[in-house]
Amino acid sequence: MVAGGSAYDRACEARRQERELREQLWAARREAERWEAASEGERRVAAQLLMLTGRGWHLLVDRRWPGTRAANVDMLLVGPGGVFVIDVKTWRAAPEAAGGRLTAGRQPRDGEVRKLLAVTRVTEAALAPLGLSPVAVQPLMVFSGRSFDAALGRVRLLGEREVAPALLTERVRLSAAMVRVVAAHLETVFPAYETSSAGPAPAGTPSAAGPLPPAPVAPVAPVTPLPIRAAAHDEDALFDVGALRDAAAKAARRGPIEQWMTFLHPDQVALVRRNWSGPARIGGPAGTGKTVVALHRAAHLAQRTTGRILYVTFASNLPRVQRTFLRTMSPAVVGRVEFRSLHAWARAFLEERGIAHRLHGGRAEDAFSRAWVRRGRDSVLSALDPSPRYWREEIDCVIKGRGITSFEEYATLRRHRRRAALRRPHREAVWELYEEYERLRTERGVHDFNDILTLALAEASARPGRSPYAAVIADEVQDLTLVGVRLLHALVGDAPNGLLLVGDGQQAVYPGGYRLSDAGIDVRGDRGQVLRTNYRNAKAILDAALAVVADDAFEDIDGSRLAGRRDIHPTYHDGQVTRAVFTDPQARDAALLDALRARGRASWPDSAVLCRSQRDVGRYRRLLERAGIPVCALERYDGRPVAGVKVGSYRRAKGLEFKHVHLPDPGPWLEPVPDGGGRPATAWTAWAPPGAVDDEIALERAQLARAQLFVAMTRARDTLWLGVVRAAEQDARREGAAYELRGAAVTPYDARGRHREAHVPYAPYAQPGRGA
Ligand SMILES: Nc1ncnc2c1ncn2[C@@H]1O[C@H](COP(=O)(O)OP(=O)(O)OP(=O)(O)O)[C@@H](O)[C@H]1O
């Protein structure tokens, strides 16, 4: 090697080092500029948000992400509108949100969205033990120095100028006391970010906000850490989460019935957030928050997946109401949850798949009437029940509802919730009737409601891969048929978190039934959950309703056999049951109008008059309208507050609730048993409507009617008004009956129907020796 060559090499090396140092300097400058810009951006956004702190909002700035050493969260904001997890962005290029992607200067920025969602989930988990539903926790990306308003899934994207006004218009979810508790809790879970101890972020450390340096920000409203009561006996605690929840429940009770809650019981939140490895079921008696959990879960799943969520019920009026509730709760996700009645959904599904069908209830009914005349009326069936209704139900709910296609299957079938023992000749006669009906229906070229579900099930089973649903939630599942449940199962199979069935066998208002195992759905272990705390009904109302079904043991859809009087934990809020007795229906109707007027116009939107039959629904609508009381038909109610009293049938009221419920004709089940009519007078369950011949059929009908009455009574939160018409001769007969009146039941109306007193305590009749 020559000397000159060595000097040249040293010069080259020096140049290389100089270049490297220059590059490092530029990189450091760019980095410093970025940090400066970022912290400036944070300052600007914080300044906007500080305007909210005077209005009950708490701002936590630059907090450490729990479980990480250095990753931070730009801001956590807690206020009346809920909890917002905020990531501040100071980007040179303008952000764009289109086609489900976030870009800036054509560069993809979806990773930033994913990081924000991850820290939002950490926040949700941190707040679940307080009972805060995940729907109250929202991710928010704020762009400093920009004007922007968009959304990507559940992530709201707002410019610096838009953020404060948008948050101020959020619906109120948390009271001031809750805001303080939630903020204090978050302050503990997300400690202040400390650089000295944190050190540099290791490679791959997740960060919600990018690796921002800890920059001093504008002064932040201090949030004093507040002790949260850990145990009920800790009387010194300043804030008791349980008491706050009770206060929230009370506030919700005072508000309009349509107001839904943000704070649930921690057990409910656990169900909302739970990961189930396959189909799951939430059961539990009336008013225990099953629908609340199901709706919060729908919102939660919609927040976590990109697929659609199908939320199905049997009743056609409920989907509208539930959609309204979800929109109020979580407007960001409502577009991805499809609320449908099962039959409406199945028809749309068939149309979408190009499968010909022709639903025509009237013609199908006509086909059945003819089949009954030809094959049923003069058969052995008439000896059991001469009216065709029971046999129509047998075909609808047992044969077609369960997808039975051969007599061999039907001949030995266990008919759930059907009491009459059908021997072989009866089953043969039913089968003949069924075949004749099918022949006449096919001749007319029409389908009935069951056919629609059967066609949809065949299609869904044949092409299962084409289902667009990430999850299916079925509410009031006890009233679906087996074919209906199989259809829903076929849409998602046994996928994790795929199928959730919500309902209560005690509230079945249609005949027939099924077991989940018949549908091949396994919900053993932690996938079968039961709620027990009744949040809806005043204790007096719950007691009165349970007295009606106390002796009616029933089989739930999971196969468990349960007593009519179940283990329910009431929440003991005040309420009243008025049992008003009259000698004629006119006096009863006049008293009903009096009761509505006495409570006043302001109570009408939260009041309902519920009837056993459609004919009565029409009658009471006209009665109220003639009296100048505005009316809203339950069929048309969509969950938004309306000025009128809701009027509808017991079946239409299923799944709903009202502060004040009036049942002008609750039927004979609140009364002692009539002892005539050839039926046993030893049990009040023995009462049956006239026309039935077979005792078991009569008992089955009566049991179903009591279940319907139970459902109607448990729709009432605060007051329940029962208008009983008692004929004078029935009174006389009853005097000799083997029943006694428990407690003091005072008739508040005299014999001519004049109002004597406003309220009387309800006292159910009890059979001596039964301890009802
Ligand atoms: N954790 C809770 N705290 C206070 N109120 C609650 C809670 N959970 C539910 N509720 C209230 O209880 C009432 C009944 O809830 P929901 O309608 O979900 O019950 P459900 O079990 O579906 O009733 P049903 O089977 O009778 O239709 C609603 O007013 C709801 O807001």
- Mean local confidence (pLDDT), 265-273: 92
The CATH class for the domain spanning 37-95+108-194 reads alpha beta
Q: In the structure, which protein residues have their CB atom closer than 6 angstroms to any atom of ligand 1?
A: 249, 252, 260-261, 264-265, 268, 284, 286-292, 504, 507, 535-536, 655, 657, 714
Question: At 686, is the pLDDT very low, low, confident or very high (cuts 50, 70, 90)?
Answer: very low
pLDDT digit string (tens) for 436-456?
Answer: 999 999 999 999 999 999 999
Would you say residue 755 has pLDDT above 70?
no
| Residue 563, token pair as written in the block | 């007593």
Residues whose CB falls within 8 Å of the CB of residue 164, separated by 6 or more in sequence, listed in order: 48, 49, 51, 52
Q: Give backbone dihedrals phi and psi of 209, rounded to 5 degrees, phi first.
A: -120, 15
Take atom 29 of ligand 1 and give the residue whose Cα is closest.
Answer: 536
As a whole number, the mean pLDDT across the chain is 82
Question: With helix as H, strand as E and coil as C, how does 53-103 read?
Answer: HCCCCEEEEEEECCCCCCCEEEEEEEECCEEEEEEEECCCCCEEEECCEEE
How many angstroms separate the alpha carbon of residue 287 from the centre of ligand 1? 5
Which ligand 1 atom lies nearest to the CA of residue 260?
Answer: 31
400 is in an annotated binding site: no
Could you tell me the end-to-end alpha-carbon distance of the chain, in angstroms, rounded to an integer? Answer: 112
Take atom 9 of ligand 1 and give the residue whose Cα is closest.
Answer: 289
Residues whose CB falls within 8 Å of the CB of residue 146, separated by 6 or more in sequence, listed in order: 94, 95, 159, 160, 161
Judge if 37-95+108-194 and 270-356+464-535 fold alike in CATH terms.
Answer: no
Determine the CATH number of domain 549-766.
3.40.50.300
How many Cβ atoms are within 10 Å of 277's Cβ, its own excluded? Answer: 13
pLDDT digit string (tens) for 75-106?
Answer: 999 999 999 999 999 999 999 999 889 999 98
Identify the pLDDT of residue 262: 81
Asked if 283 and 530 touch (Cβ cutoff 8 Å), the reply is yes
pLDDT digit string (tens) for 657-676?
Answer: 999 999 998 887 765 444 44
286 is in an annotated binding site: yes
Residue from 60, 186, 192, 67 nearest 129 by CA: 186
Would you say residue 747 has pLDDT above 70?
no
Which ligand 1 atom lies nearest to the CA of residue 715?
Answer: 26
Question: At 199, is the pLDDT very low, low, confident or very high (cuts 50, 70, 90)?
Answer: very low
How many angstroms separate the alpha carbon of residue 265 from the centre of ligand 1? 11
How many angstroms separate the alpha carbon of residue 488 from the centre of ligand 1? 24
Would you say residue 204 has pLDDT above 70?
no
Asked if 214 and 194 touch (Cβ cutoff 8 Å), the reply is yes
Question: At 5, is the pLDDT very low, low, confident or very high (cuts 50, 70, 90)?
Answer: low
Q: pTM here?
A: 0.81
How many angstroms separate the alpha carbon of residue 81 from the centre of ligand 1? 22
| Residue 132, token pair as written in the block | 């805060």
**Collapsing DSSP states into helix, strand and coil, what is residue 194?**
coil
Q: Is 412 left (phi over 0), alpha (psi -120 to 50) or beta?
A: alpha
Query: What residue ranges in 497-641 does DSSP mark as E strands?
Result: 499-502, 528-530, 533-534, 554-555, 561-562, 569-570, 576-582, 607-611, 631-633
Alpha carbon distance 368, 382 (integer Å)? 15
Distances (CA, A) of 714 to 282, 548, 660: 19, 11, 11
571 is in an annotated binding site: no
DSSP 249-316: HHHHHHS-TT---SB--HHHHHHHH---SS-EEEE-STTSSHHHHHHHHHHHHHHH-SSEEEEEESSS
Residue with tokens 């008003």: 580
Question: At 512, is the pLDDT very low, low, confident or very high (cuts 50, 70, 90)?
Answer: confident
- Mean local confidence (pLDDT), 467-488: 94
Domain ranges of the chain: 37-95+108-194, 270-356+464-535, 361-446, 549-766
Would you say residue 230 has pLDDT above 70?
no
DSSP 369-395: HHHIIIIITTSTHHHH-SSTHHHHHII
Identify the pLDDT of residue 750: 35
Alpha carbon distance 115, 505 (integer Å)? 43
Distances (CA, A) of 380 to 115, 375, 422, 429, 679: 70, 10, 10, 7, 21
How many angstroms separate the alpha carbon of residue 261 from the centre of ligand 1? 10
How many angstroms separate the alpha carbon of residue 628 from the centre of ligand 1? 32
The H-or-E segment that residue 457 falls in is helix 449-462
One-letter amino acid at 381 equals L
The CA angle 555-558-559, to the nearest 5 degrees, is 45
Which ligand 1 atom lies nearest to the CA of residue 265?
Answer: 1
The architecture that CATH gives domain 270-356+464-535 is 3-Layer(aba) Sandwich (3.40)
Alpha carbon distance 495, 240 (integer Å)? 39
Residue from 650, 678, 651, 681 nearest 664 by CA: 650
pLDDT digit string (tens) for 588-620?
Answer: 999 999 999 999 999 999 999 999 999 999 999
Residue from 731, 747, 748 nearest 739 by CA: 731
290 is in an annotated binding site: yes
- Mean local confidence (pLDDT), 634-642: 90
pLDDT digit string (tens) for 309-333?
Answer: 999 998 888 999 999 999 888 888 8
How many angstroms separate the alpha carbon of residue 533 from the centre of ligand 1? 9
Alpha carbon distance 350, 369 (integer Å)? 28
Identify the pLDDT of residue 667: 83
54 is in an annotated binding site: no
How many Cβ atoms are within 10 Å of 373's Cβ, its own excluded? Answer: 12
Residue with tokens 């809701």: 646
pLDDT digit string (tens) for 369-391?
Answer: 999 999 999 999 998 988 899 99
Would you say residue 30 has pLDDT above 70?
no
Take atom 28 of ligand 1 and give the residue whose Cα is closest.
Answer: 536
Which ligand 1 atom lies nearest to the CA of residue 253?
Answer: 29
**Strand 337-341 to strand 308-313: parallel, antiparallel, or no bridges (unpaired)?**
parallel
Asked if 302 and 326 touch (Cβ cutoff 8 Å), the reply is no
Alpha carbon distance 111, 101 (integer Å)? 10
